Amino acid sequence: MAVYYHLFKKTVTLKSGKQIKKWYYWYYSSDKTQVRKSCKGCVSKAEAQAYIDSLPPPAVCSATVSRIAKDMYIPGSVHYERRRQFGKSISPRTMLDCRAYVKYIIDVFGDRRIEDLRVSEIQQYLLNCNKSGSWKNRYQEIFCEIYDEAVWQGISVSKPTFIKFKRNSKRQSVLSTEEYSQISSTTPETFRIPGYVEYESFCTHIKPLALELIEKNRTELNLNHDKTQNEEPVKKSEAVQNERIFTDRNLDLLQGQLELFENAAEYNSVQHDFCLLILLQKNQNLLRLPLIRNQPFHTADKELS
Reduced to 3 states (helix: H, G, I; strand: E, B; else coil), residue 104 is helix
For residue 252, give the H/E element and its range. strand 244-252
CA-wise closest residue to 292 among 271, 274, 268, 280: 274
* Res 45: pLDDT: 92
The DSSP code for 139 is H
13's CB contacts (< 8 A; 6+ apart) are 19
Distance of CA 32 to CAs 58, 59, 61, 294, Å?
12, 11, 10, 61
CA distance 42 to 51: 8
pTM (2 d.p.): 0.43
* Res 301: pLDDT: 33
Mean pLDDT by 10 residues, the chain (305 residues): 77 88 86 84 92 76 86 93 92 91 95 91 94 92 94 85 81 54 49 31 28 38 40 38 38 52 52 38 33 31 32
